[in-house]
Chain A
Amino acid sequence: MSVDVEHEAAPPRDPKRPEPRPLPLVFERSGEGKVGYSLPPLDVPETLAIPPALCRKQIAGEAQISEVDVARHFTRLSRLNFSIDQGLYALGSCTMKHNPRTNEEMARLPGFAASHPLAPEEVSQGSLELAWRLERLLAELTGLPRVTLQPSAGAQGELAGILMVRKALEKEGQPRRLVLIPDSAHGTNPASAHFAGYTVKELKSNPRGTIDLGALEAAMTEDVAALMLTQPNTLGIFEDRILDIARIVHARGGYLYCDGANFNAYVGVAKPGLMGVDVMHMNLHKTFSTPHGGGGPGSGPVAVTEKLVPHLPRPTVERRPDGTFFLDFDRPESIGRLRTFLGNFGMFVRALSYIAAYGNRIGEVARGAVLNANYIRAGLTGVYHLKYDGPSMHEVVFSDKKQSDLGVSNVDIAKRLMDYGFHPPTMSFPLIVHGALMIEPTETEGKPVLDAFIHAMREIARECEETPEIVRTAPHTTPVRRVDEVGAARNLVLRWRP
């Protein structure tokens, strides 16, 4: 029986599962002579003016499939995903909030989606103005004077930020050797510092999970270029000694880098510029609601203090006195380019649309996010272990300490949560919490959903005590059962073969 027949028939259907069995690959649906496209007849003479030695005969194995098959294939595949629009997506640090659909419509306007980055300036005023306006809004929100929109995502923003610091220090004398990073930081921080040519020195957190001022004071030598700090940190705890931290870093001539992945905890309420932050990346796909799209595209603008402005990536978007906009390539002290063109422009459109929708009420984003995280915290305190019990901002990090004694791990709890209709929290991060369950509800969840989530987590805790096997063997109702990730790495199959 062909895969199609097998799949289409597939009785008896399991009512719990959206698709009765794994779907064939698009290549396995292929059939000789089927087509899924139409092009107009060629209206110029047919020609091949390239030597045959430089040409290929065919693309062996490529699909042959109709549009109908494609529609069905990708619709069915989509049903195997959990998404924000289906329910609470508790993936901490990722900020899985509602993605407004106006933004999608705006990004698809022909003037944006069908425009080209290298069109003459006179016919690109709309995109230049849009970038300029978004930059000004992000500058206002961060309290820092200038912003680059060029970085493609947060990690590239980090690299851009540290490269600017390096350039500034070189100008002052020498670039220094070390970057300090707390042990609670995102893995991208040390990786980015490394690719900027720095040696990473890890800073141990204090018993509260925050920066240990004594340890910082001791580590902050004149060989340290920057402290990379996440505010609030990855435990969801606000570094309340931020002004002291900035003072210590600045006293030794270092720069304070803020990882803005968690900006949604205080956007519109407080400004990093007032905290002494010198440079900060933001994730438009987190705080500013651009969709995560199954893993990108993102966008990672970086805001900088006056001292770093000369080093911004090239080109910058500028406004002339007559109100027209242009790209300024004449920036001799720039770190250079990090990618092609202006950046992920389509994300700029969405973020600007989002900020415009909130306007001066954008602080409600942070207020809602913090309220929701604390509500979950209150609902689960005592049920799950909370290693660091400082005040939570937009997320809360529990662990499986109580449950692991019963032979159930955070992975099991996460998988079981799927059966209750929720996307699991981020697991095993931050590294300073063993068996972490990092929960970020975001401001776009309402009380009934939060209550249901709390209920589910409490039920699972009860199951861990009464019927641990059901948790250990979870999930039971997902499109596939627990996936053998170890097997995937051991026996690598990374593509289909004709």
Chain B
Amino acid sequence: MKFLPTSDAERAAMLAAMGARSIDDLFAAVPAEVRRAPDLPPPMSEIEIRRFLGGLAKKNANARDTAFFLGAGVYNHYVSSIADQMLYRAEWLTSYTPYQPEVSQGTLQNIFEFQTHVCLLTGLEVANASLYEGASALVEALLMAERLSRGRTKAVLSAGIHPEYRETVRTYFSNLDLEVVEVPVGPDGATDARALAAAVDEKTFAVAVQSPNFYGVVEDWNAGSAAAKAKGALSVAVVAEAVSLALLSPPGEGGADIACGEAQALGVPMHNGGPLLGFLACRTEHQRQIPGRLVGQTRDAEGRRAFCLTLSTREQHIRREKATSNICTNQGLMALASNIHMSLLGKAGLREMALQSHAKAEYLKAAIAKIPGYRIPFSGPTFNEFVVEASEDAAPLLSRLAARGILAGVPLSRYGAAPSDRRRFLVAATEMNERAELDRLVAALSGRAA
């Protein structure tokens, strides 16, 4: 067995040195009734594994071989080769949470840099080392706001927040005596600002709005922040398409107290939906309630700059049931990928990527709007994703297109039951889509309608 470095002779020598007769003796504490060898096939060689998993991979459509327009929380953006190749380095791949700073300065400095990128993009002052993904990041942000509120019990959520995020919030909140109120989006696709303000009361600890929202519409952070501030609640900004942060007004400038969401779009492959990269940032005054790992700058015994995990007294291994979160392992390697990616793209590249994504989506939106039988139901401004309404059910239409190598969009029927939802689907574009691909989608949709 190639992953086991001990020879039979060494094993015998080890047992002899320990005064044990056999390895079985070491399992004496395991009752016979619970012992059972698993019914599994014989071991596979590397060649067979490649054949087996390669075969499964071929049964999936992938973004490289298709005209690709899927988004809804996971986006097909450019990632430089060097970002992934760096992840192969054993020092990054095969190390763990940097509990021992003297032998983990690489990981620690990487996290410190990642925290800085998140702060610069969100316009907030403190960011943590990462969270699992967008939905649980929203949960953590809301629970943080709840703790800061000292006794308030209600969260007001825009219905423009990704439906899987909202479902996750309901799961987590179901047993915590916390109430969730959802405010619908208006005819422009943006959260109804008046309804939002009306839903917030003295019991409300947080008001959460996503921008661009699930329907792709760009929201004004100030609407949510004003509604929150009016009743002393905290404003939570949710971002599911983090490339937008390079172009849109950052949450910190829009009065948000906490920004959270999904940073997959910034340097992490789609991975069929995971691993992704959750993030959370807040204002300095709230930093002691932030969940998850935090890296701080300090000095070593010789006075040199060094980094270490800090404010650990918030965390589960010390505070146990009183911790700010139960999170332990987070998304370290994905934060590294994102740090590398954001550093490469930098000030100019992040903006150019965002502008290209926006321009391609606008081109596509204008072209689809002209196809008979299709319309763009929401009038609000969009970043790189928008809703299309067809004159037939969207899911079968999208399946037919997929069979032709066009992954045209995500049907809203997956998330909603409203009759109009059945005919609607989300289309996303990024800098990865060349014009010919955009035109191919338009032609395919035109063909269907004709």
B43 and A359: CB pair below 8 A?
yes
- Stretch of B149-157, B181-189, B225-233, B247-255 lying at the A interface: B247-255
Which residues of chain A from 157 to 196 have a CB within 8 Å of any chain B CB?
158-159, 163, 166, 175, 186-188, 190-196
The answer on a CB contact under 8 Å between A414 and B320 is no
Partner of A337, one of B76, B168, B309: B168
Contacts of B317 in A (CB 8 A): 186-188, 429
Q: Report, as a range, how many residues of chain B touch the other chain.
A: 35 or more
Known contacts A78-B89, A154-B328; is-contact A378 B63 (Cβ 8 Å): no
16 interchain pairs (CB within 8 A)?
Answer: A36-B344, A54-B248, A54-B381, A106-B57, A109-B53, A152-B275, A155-B328, A187-B320, A188-B317, A268-B38, A297-B331, A313-B171, A338-B135, A370-B27, A374-B26, A480-B102
The segment from A120-128, A214-222, A401-409, A459-467 found at the interface with B is A120-128
Within 8 A of B (CB), among A282-311: 283, 285, 289, 291-298
Q: Give complex CA distance A482, B344 in Å.
A: 32
A2 within 8 A of B: no
Measured CA separation A240–B32 after assembly (Å): 10
Decide yes or no whether B391 CB sits under 8 A from chain A: no
Q: Are B113 and A155 in contact (CB under 8 A)?
A: no
| B249 with A54: CB separation less than 8 A | yes
**Which residues of B have CB within 8 Å of A426?**
99
Q: In the bound complex, what is the Cα–Cα distance between A67 and B82 (angstroms)?
A: 8
CA distance A496 to B115 in the complex (A): 9
Q: Which residues of A contact B312 (CB under 8 A)?
A: 489
Cβ-defined contact, B40 with A120, below 8 A: no
Query: Which B residues touch A358, using CB under 8 A?
Result: 1, 3, 43
Instruction: Collect the chain B residues with CB atoms within 8 Å of residue A391's CB.
Output: 26, 28-29
Does A270 lie within 8 Å of B30, measured CB to CB? yes
Is the Cβ of A47 less than 8 Å from the Cβ of B359?
Answer: yes
Q: Return chain A residues, CB-CB under 8 Å to B57.
A: 106, 109-112, 126
Task: Flag if B299 contacts A484 (CB, 8 Å).
Answer: yes
Report how far A27 CA is from B113 CA in the complex, Å: 8
Q: Would you call A62 and B342 a contact (CB within 8 A)? A: yes
Is A43 interfacial (CB 8 A cutoff)?
Answer: yes
A320 on the B face (CB < 8 A):
no
**Residues of chain B with a CB closer than 8 A to A118's CB:** 70, 72, 74, 273, 410, 414
From residue A133, how far is it (CB to closest CB) to chain B in Å?
A: 8
Q: Which of A38-89 contact B (CB under 8 A)?
A: 39-40, 42-51, 53-56, 58-65, 67, 70-71, 73-75, 77-86, 89
Q: Which residues of B contact A196 (CB under 8 A)?
A: 175
Alpha-carbon distance between A271 and B35 when the two chains are bound, in angstroms:
6
- In the complex, the chain A residue whose C-beta lies closest to that of B330 is A296
Q: How far is the CB of B22 from chain A (nearest CB, A)?
A: 10
| Cross-chain contact B126 with A495 (CB below 8 angstroms) | yes
CB 8 Å contact bits of B95-128 with A (1 = contact, 0 = none)? 1111111111111011111011101110001110
Assess whether A84 is in contact with B1, with CB atoms less than 8 Å apart: no
Q: Chain B: which residue is nearest A473 at the CB level? A: B301
Known A-B contacts A154-B329, A356-B49; the reply to A56 vs B359 at CB < 8 A is: no
Assess the A378–B332 pair: CB atoms within 8 A.
no
Task: Choose the segment among B6-14, B191-199, B202-210, B370-378 that binds chain A (4+ C-beta atoms closer than 8 Å).
Answer: B6-14
**A37/B349 in contact, CB under 8 A:** yes
Number of interface residues of A (CB under 8 A): 211
Asked whether A274 and B36 contact (CB < 8 A) given A36-B346, A493-B297, the answer is yes
Q: Supply 15 further A-B pairs (C-beta < 8 A) apart from A21-B304, A59-B121.
A: A46-B359, A47-B362, A74-B340, A79-B91, A94-B96, A111-B56, A119-B402, A140-B39, A140-B40, A294-B336, A414-B100, A480-B302, A481-B304, A482-B300, A484-B300
A357 CB contacts on chain B under 8 angstroms: 3, 43-44, 46, 49
B325 at the interface (CB under 8 A from A): yes
- Determine whether the beta carbon of A487 is less than 8 Å from that of B133: no
Contact digits for B243-267, partner A, Cβ 8 Å, 1 yes 0 no: 0011111100100000000100000
**What is the bound-complex CA distance between A35 and B253, given in angstroms?**
27
Which residues of chain B come closer than 8 Å to A75, judged between CB atoms? 86, 89
- Contact assessment for B346 and A341 in the assembled complex, using a CB-CB cutoff below 8 Å: no
Q: Is the CB of A340 within 8 A of B165?
A: yes
Q: How far is the CA of A166 from the CA of B355 in the complex (A)?
A: 48
Q: How far apart sit A393 and B23, CA to CA, in the bound complex (Å)?
A: 11
The distance from the CB of B267 to the nearest CB of chain A, in whole angstroms, is: 11
B348 contacts A64, CB within 8 Å? Answer: yes
Given contacts A62-B346, A111-B57, A344-B274, contact A339 B1 (CB under 8 A): no
Interface residue from A27, A270, A423, A444 paired with B116 (Cβ < 8 Å): A27
Task: Indicate if B350 sits at the interface (CB-CB under 8 A).
Answer: yes
A52 to B249, CA, bound (A): 9
Residue of B nearest to A274 (CB): B34
Q: Verify B295–A494 contact, CB threshold 8 A.
A: yes
Min CB–CB distance B438 → chain A (angstroms): 7
Residues of the A chain whose Cβ atoms lie less than 8 Å from the Cβ of B41: 359-360
The 8 A CB mask of A231-245 against B (1 = contact, 0 = none) is 000000110101100
Which chain A residue has the least Cβ–Cβ distance from B409?
A: A118
Given that A336-B167, A359-B42 are contacting pairs, would A25 and B112 also be in contact in the complex, using a CB cutoff of 8 Å?
yes
Once the chains bind, are A345 and B273 in contact (CB under 8 Å)? yes
B 312-336 to A, binary, CB cutoff 8 A, 1 in contact else 0: 1101111111110111111111101
Q: Which A-chain residue is minimally distant from B70 (CB atoms)?
A: A116
Q: How far is the CB of A38 from chain B (nearest CB, A)?
A: 9
Q: Are A353 and B91 in contact (CB under 8 A)?
A: no
B21 / chain A contacts, CB cutoff of 8 Å:
none
Cβ-defined partner of A155 (8 Å) among B68, B326, B356: B326
Across the interface, do A293 and B78 meet the contact criterion of CB distance under 8 Å?
no
CA distance A387 to B174 in the complex (A): 42
Q: Which chain B residues numbered 398 to 424 have a C-beta less than 8 Å away from chain A?
A: 398-399, 402-403, 407, 410, 414
